[in-house]
Amino acid sequence: MTSASPLLSVRGLRTSFAGPQGQVTVLDGVDLDVARGESLGIVGESGSGKSLMLLSVLGLVKPPGRVEARAIIFDGKELEPGSSPGRLRAEGMALIMQDALTALNPSLTIGTQIGEALARHAGLRRGREQRERAEELMRLVGIPEPARRLAAYPHELSGGQRQRAMIAAALACAPKLLVADEPTTALDVTVQAQVLDLIAEMRERLGMGLVLITHNLGVVAEYCERVAVVYAGEIVESGPAVEVIASPRHPYTAGLLAALPRLDRLDDPIAPIPGMVPSPGERPTGCRFADRCALRSTPCDLPQALRPAGPSRLARCHLVS
């Protein structure tokens, strides 16, 4: 691997689960790259597979789930699909989960939980050095009176403070890649912006790569350099975020953008995408978006491959020339 190689490179990722009729494929042949220091947005509706994609890479899919891949390479090292989360954190990956209230252990203080991360990944055992480092991390993520907050339990902090504490715990292992899975779930709008700004600031300050999983293309436009749009277990479009949002090449991406309210067009009706994401066991054999697409035609009955849609852009649609 050269210095120009991606920090994370995934090829042929496939995740399936046992069902009454056998294994049901949820993710199917996903290829994904994240450059060093890059911010990548993964976007799609609920049920599209966007969170499962990174959970599969992070080793957080448990039986009866099965993760396979032709290759998963992180920081120049090839990893076995389904590698333990502990090993991946040691290699430099960290995860911020959706809801800090459920992700944090309610029976342990914030200091204990950050201390566990420091002991495992920084070799700092209980004592003054660990406590000072934990306070430093809390201060880094903008929590006032860090010594007092470290003694608190998760329920004693506000939603925004809990999310910041979880970011501090993620940063304890000095990650090279930070995965943020819907990190503003259950937070009010003002706190959402603060948390997203904090994550962006930490990426810039610490030189980390960032994967931001979200359903909001507006968030991607503000915080991400590249975007991968996921639908029904496949990436259907990818490229520089500014270009994809300004000129989508896949009808699904265009539909997501049309469903966003516009501050400069408050009188315009929102145009939701008709129908729903098909369940894994009921996906069409051709284009998976065909049943919801106004541009459907005969070629859509055949499986669609990702094809070039311009410099550094790909789209899974036969209309791309």
Q: Divide the 321 residues of the chain into consecutive groups of 10 and give the mean pLDDT of each group.
A: 75 92 91 96 95 92 92 91 68 87 92 90 82 94 94 94 93 92 88 93 94 94 97 97 97 93 75 92 94 96 95 95 71
Q: How many of the other CB atoms lie within 10 Å of CB of 274?
A: 10
269 within some domain: yes
pLDDT at residue 3, rounded to an integer? 46
pLDDT at residue 126, rounded to an integer? 79
Torsion of CA 319, 227, 229, 65, to 10 degrees: 140
168 within some domain: no
CATH number of the domain residue 227 falls in: 3.40.50.300
Q: How many of the other CB atoms lie within 10 Å of CB of 54?
A: 23
pLDDT at residue 13, rounded to an integer? 96
- For Cα atoms 38, 304, 275, give the angle at the middle one, nearest 5 degrees: 90
- For Cα atoms 187, 193, 194, give the angle at the middle one, nearest 5 degrees: 90
Query: CA-to-CA distance for 13 and 26, rounded, in angstroms?
Result: 10
221 within some domain: yes
19 within some domain: yes
Count of domains for the chain: 1
pLDDT at residue 2, rounded to an integer? 40
pLDDT at residue 297, rounded to an integer? 96
Length of the chain, in residues: 321
pLDDT at residue 173, rounded to an integer? 84
227 within some domain: yes
85 within some domain: yes
What's the predicted TM-score (pTM) here? Answer: 0.92
Residue whose tokens read 């995934």: 10
Buried b / exposed e across 141-151, counting CB within 10 Å, b at 16+? bbbeebeebbe
243 within some domain: yes
Nearest to 240 by CA among 321, 313, 307: 313
Print the domain residue range for 76: 8-92+175-315
Taking only Cα atoms into account, the Rg of the chain, rounded to an integer number of angstroms, comes to 20
162 within some domain: no
